Amino acid sequence: MGKKSYGSPYFVWMSIFIIVPMFLVLYYAFTIQTDQGMVFSLDNIKRIAEPLYIKVFVRSLVLALESTAICLLIAYPAAMILADKKFSKSTTFLVMIVLPMWMNFLLRTYSWLSLLENNGLINKLVISLGFERMQLMYNEGAVVLGMVYNFLPFMILPIYSVLVKIDNNVIEAARDLGCTSFGVFKKITVPLSLPGVLSGITMVFMPAISTFIISRLLSGGKVSLIGNVIEQQFLVLGDWGFGSALSLVLMVFILISMAFINKGSSGYEGGIL
């Protein structure tokens, strides 16, 4: 048996589930329905340049970047605590982080609803303490919160896994040569953990920019992201052509961001993806 035959199931799998759908997306994006049947056209792509859709794209990008940044800020210290050998409870801590991932994604997001709603738990508490009711949902903040909550583990785990691999001897060598604790962090820990940070960013940014369920649930449809628009085109308006065009642009968007991040990681071993 040659090497080729081992790979063939994957090849078949990839063709059916990746390559064929890609071609379908391309096909729908660049054609429109006319009297002569489907003909080649750039109309769908041109429509994206309308201010309404540009705005949605920008909003999606900004919210995804915000969530990624917040995830990074929370995840890095958490991963450092996890990786610290002196922190003997780290398995408990690790389980606490991973545990929510075992729960259904929708369920987790719905549970936030019951906390944040106008009549939710938080507001009930606030009112019982004699304060004004707060508008916690139906805004961009709630969407970012949902993204951070759902995607945080994808940032912590890759960073954690590079941090635990850093040899304690190397840290000691840096101290030996005169580094303070902060110096060790800046000159050793951060550069050595960069591959983990970059893959964490990828793993949070990608789902964050394309999500539609978090924005729909937590903003009650008030904050429309690119994912919501695409969903609407396919499921509500039945405009597969425009939906495909939007998907295509989103994909290009993600690819460009990845290239950008990968460029930042060149020179460091591994890189991402």
Partner 1 sequence: MKNIIELKNITKNYGDFTALDHINLEIKEGEFVTLLGPSGCGKTTTLRIIGGFEDPSEGQVYFDGKQINETPANKRSVNTVFQKYALFTHLSVYDNIAFGPKLKKMESHLIEKKVKESLRIVNLEGFEKREISTLSGGQQQRIAIARALINEPKVLLLDEPLGALDLKLRQGMQRELSNMHQKLGITFIYVTHDQEEALSMSDTVVVMNRGKILQIGSPEDVYNEPKTPFVADFIGESNIIPGVMKKDLLVNFANHDFECVDKGFKPNEQIDVVVRPEDIHVTSPNTGMIQAKVTSVNFKGVHYEMTASCNNFEWLIQSTKFRDIDETIGISIIPDHIHIMKRESVNG
Residues forming contacts to partner 1 in the complex (CB under 8 A) are 167, 169-170, 172-180, 183, 187-188, 191-192, 268-269
Least distance (Å) from partner 1 to the CB of residue 91? Answer: 20
State phi, psi for 221 to the nearest 5 degrees: 85, 0
Least distance (Å) from partner 1 to the CB of residue 264? Answer: 14
In the complex with partner 1, the residue whose CB is nearer, 234 or 268, is 268
In the complex with partner 1, the residue whose CB is nearer, 33 or 180, is 180
- CA–CA dist 182, 66 (Å, integer): 26
Least distance (Å) from partner 1 to the CB of residue 193? Answer: 10
The CA–CA distances, whole Å, from 187 to 22, 174, 268 equal: 43, 9, 14
Cα(first)–Cα(last) distance of the chain, in Å? 29
Q: Comparing C-alpha atoms, which of 239, 240, 236, 210 is closest to residue 225?
A: 210
Least distance (Å) from partner 1 to the CB of residue 94? Answer: 25
Give kind and range of the element (H or E) at residue 39. strand 37-40
Q: Is 4 exposed, middle or buried (0-12, 13-18, 19+ CB in 10 A)?
A: exposed
Q: Which residues lie closer than 8 Å to 231 by C-beta, 6 or more apart?
A: 212
- What is 211-247 written as a DSSP string? --HHHHHHHTTSS--HHHHHHIIIIIS--HHHHHHHH
Please check whether residue 188 is in contact with residue 179, taking contact to mean a CB–CB distance below 8 angstroms: yes
In the complex with partner 1, the residue whose CB is nearer, 177 or 235, is 177
Least distance (Å) from partner 1 to the CB of residue 178? Answer: 4
Least distance (Å) from partner 1 to the CB of residue 186? Answer: 11
- CA–CA dist 70, 111 (Å, integer): 21
In the complex with partner 1, the residue whose CB is nearer, 133 or 186, is 186
Least distance (Å) from partner 1 to the CB of residue 181? Answer: 9
In the complex with partner 1, the residue whose CB is nearer, 35 or 176, is 176
In the complex with partner 1, the residue whose CB is nearer, 1 or 177, is 177
In the complex with partner 1, the residue whose CB is nearer, 59 or 175, is 175
Please check whether residue 47 is in contact with residue 245, taking contact to mean a CB–CB distance below 8 angstroms: yes
Least distance (Å) from partner 1 to the CB of residue 185? Answer: 13
The CA–CA distances, whole Å, from 22 to 6, 28, 52, 245 equal: 24, 10, 26, 12
In the complex with partner 1, the residue whose CB is nearer, 178 or 238, is 178
